[in-house]
Amino acid sequence: MRHLGKISGRGELLSSGASLGEAAYEIDVWEDRQAKLANGRLQSDGATLVQAFGVDTKLILRTGEKIDIVVTRHFAPGGSAEIKVSGPVPGF
């Protein structure tokens, strides 16, 4: 597996068209054979991450671009969560 790069910044989380709040993100993009895979981490308040856990969520970047994500693991005390990207990542 080859690491293609990373994107990071702040964005807005949306689920079912409703804003859940803002989050800092860091997403790594990988290439495995011919497929691209992406995963990473979010930092936000606990309530926002609880709402986003396990549901289809969009991360709206400051540029307006959208990334489809799923929060796969939530760490309540630190306000962080692991994510899997289920669609393309802008720039990759």
Assign 3-class secondary structure to 32-69.
ECCEEEEEEEEECCHHHHHHHECCEEEEEECCCCEEEE
Q: What is the pLDDT at residue 66?
A: 96
- Confidence band, pLDDT 50/70/90 cuts, at residue 79: confident
Is 92 inside a domain boundary?
Answer: no
What letter does residue 1 receive in the DSSP assignment? -
Q: What is the pLDDT at residue 74?
A: 76
3-state secondary structure (DSSP) of residue 92: coil
The tally of domains found in the chain comes to 1
| Whole-structure pTM value | 0.89
Range of the domain at 58: 2-85
Phi, psi of 51 (to 5 degrees): -65, -35
For 35, residues 6+ apart whose C-beta sits below 8 A from its C-beta are none
Flag whether pLDDT at 88 surpasses 70. Answer: yes
Is 34 inside a domain boundary?
Answer: yes
Amino acid letter, residue 71: V
pLDDT 10s digits, 45-69: 888 888 888 888 999 999 999 999 9
Q: What is the pLDDT at residue 76?
A: 63
Is 44 inside a domain boundary?
Answer: yes
Q: What is the pLDDT at residue 78?
A: 65
Is 53 inside a domain boundary?
Answer: yes
Phi, psi of 16 (to 5 degrees): 55, 35
